[in-house]
């Protein structure tokens, strides 16, 4: 079973504000049957422009129902400006936390709210206002949505993005694109404060780091590339940049960029240091 908090279970067993408001001021529908969860949110404003009443209907797992219920409790009585600032993390916090793989439930809540507010302001009634380029076609997730969950939750891996908004969790074809989005946003952001737990591992001297990189390339990476008649050469290590050259079949491979990120960088981050960046030698 999932490790749900008592609050999640309470909101699942006794969901607040279930239903639809017939003469709603704003309606937001997100998700779909295919995705495995969907949420319809309706709200009514009072004369001061505050959310006087809000109701939801949800198709989904226990945490999807609980997140929807929590969202309605959170935004009741707020102005739309205030409600618009509610993040998915606020929903998760209200529930005392959600399992990482279930964070997308809280994101669905925030998205439904956004769509409902947009519906009130613009009158658009489309089920989901898809703006910008769709990155994940399996779950219909746009680049904007991915950028937002990555920024707001400081995500660093494709798996986290999948946990938060499902993108990349279907056929997996868009994973390199998600990886690129993460890299772009991380480049914009100041470095995150060091992780509180011991995930970063012991501090390595430069010499130790280079040796560990060599060992990882030898034992973990080269055998994987050899399977496809490829090979790799370690050229240089400059701070956290690892410069390599791909050889053999990899040298002409069109998906070599994915290999660099998904295999080489992922392995080096796992076995050496989480902040390593792999670059291909320009020569």
Q: Where in the sequence numbering do the catalytic residues fall?
A: 35, 105
Total Cβ atoms within 10 A of residue 29:
20
Q: In the complex, what is the shortest distance from the CB of residue 192 to another protein, in angstroms, rounded to a whole number? A: 26
213 vs 266, which CB is nearer to another protein?
266
Q: State phi, psi for 124 to the nearest 5 degrees.
A: -65, 135
Query: What b/e sequence results for 102-140 when a residue is b if at least 16 CB atoms lie within 10 Å of its CB, and e otherwise?
Result: bbbbbbbbbbbbbbbbbbbeeeeeeebbeeeeebbebbb
Q: In the complex, what is the shortest distance from the CB of residue 40 to another protein, in angstroms, rounded to a whole number? A: 4
Q: In the complex, what is the shortest distance from the CB of residue 136 to another protein, in angstroms, rounded to a whole number? A: 10
Sign of the alpha-carbon torsion through 74, 15, 95, 86: negative
47 vs 227, which CB is nearer to another protein?
227
What does the binding site for another protein look like in residue numbers (CB under 8 A)? 1, 9, 12-13, 15, 18, 29, 33-40, 57-65, 101-102, 139, 162, 166, 169-170, 227
Rounded Cα distance between 221 and 240, Å, is 18
40 vs 148, which CB is nearer to another protein?
40
Burial class of residue 171, CB neighbours in 10 A (0-12, 13-18, 19+): exposed
Q: In the complex, what is the shortest distance from the CB of residue 259 to another protein, in angstroms, rounded to a whole number? A: 16
Q: Which two tokens stand for residue 139?
A: 């779950």
Rounded Cα distance between 282 and 247, Å, is 13
């Amino acid at each position: 079973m999932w490790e749900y908090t008592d609050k999640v279970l309470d909101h699942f067993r006794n969901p607040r504000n279930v239903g639809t408001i017939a003469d709603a001021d704003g309606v937001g529908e997100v998700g779909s049957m295919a995705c495995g969860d969907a949420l319809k949110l309706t709200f009514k404003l009072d004369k001061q422009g505050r959310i006087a009443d809000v109701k939801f209907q949800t198709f989904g797992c226990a945490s999807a129902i609980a997140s929807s219920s929590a969202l309605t409790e959170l935004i009741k009585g707020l102005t739309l400006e205030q409600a618009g600032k509610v993040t998915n993390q606020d929903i998760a916090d209200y529930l005392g936390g959600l399992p990482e793989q279930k964070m997308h439930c809280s994101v669905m809540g925030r998205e439904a709210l956004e769509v409902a507010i947009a519906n009130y302001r613009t009158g658009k009634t489309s089920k989901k206002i898809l703006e910008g380029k769709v990155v994940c076609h399996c779950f219909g997730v746009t680049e904007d949505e991915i950028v937002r969950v990555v920024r707001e939750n400081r995500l660093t891996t494709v798996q986290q993005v999948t946990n938060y908004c499902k993108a990349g969790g279907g056929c997996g074809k868009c994973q390199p694109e998600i990886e690129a989005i993460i890299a772009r946003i991380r480049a914009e952001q100041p470095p995150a404060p060091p992780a509180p737990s011991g995930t970063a591992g012991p501090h390595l001297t430069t010499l130790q780091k280079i040796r560990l990189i060599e060992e990882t390339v030898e034992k973990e990476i080269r055998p994987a590339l050899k399977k496809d008649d490829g090979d790799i050469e370690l050229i240089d290590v400059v701070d956290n940049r690892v410069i390599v050259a791909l050889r053999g079949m990899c040298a002409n491979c069109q998906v070599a960029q994915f290999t660099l990120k998904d295999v080489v960088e992922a392995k080096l981050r796992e076995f050496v240091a989480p902040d390593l960046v792999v670059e291909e030698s320009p020569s």
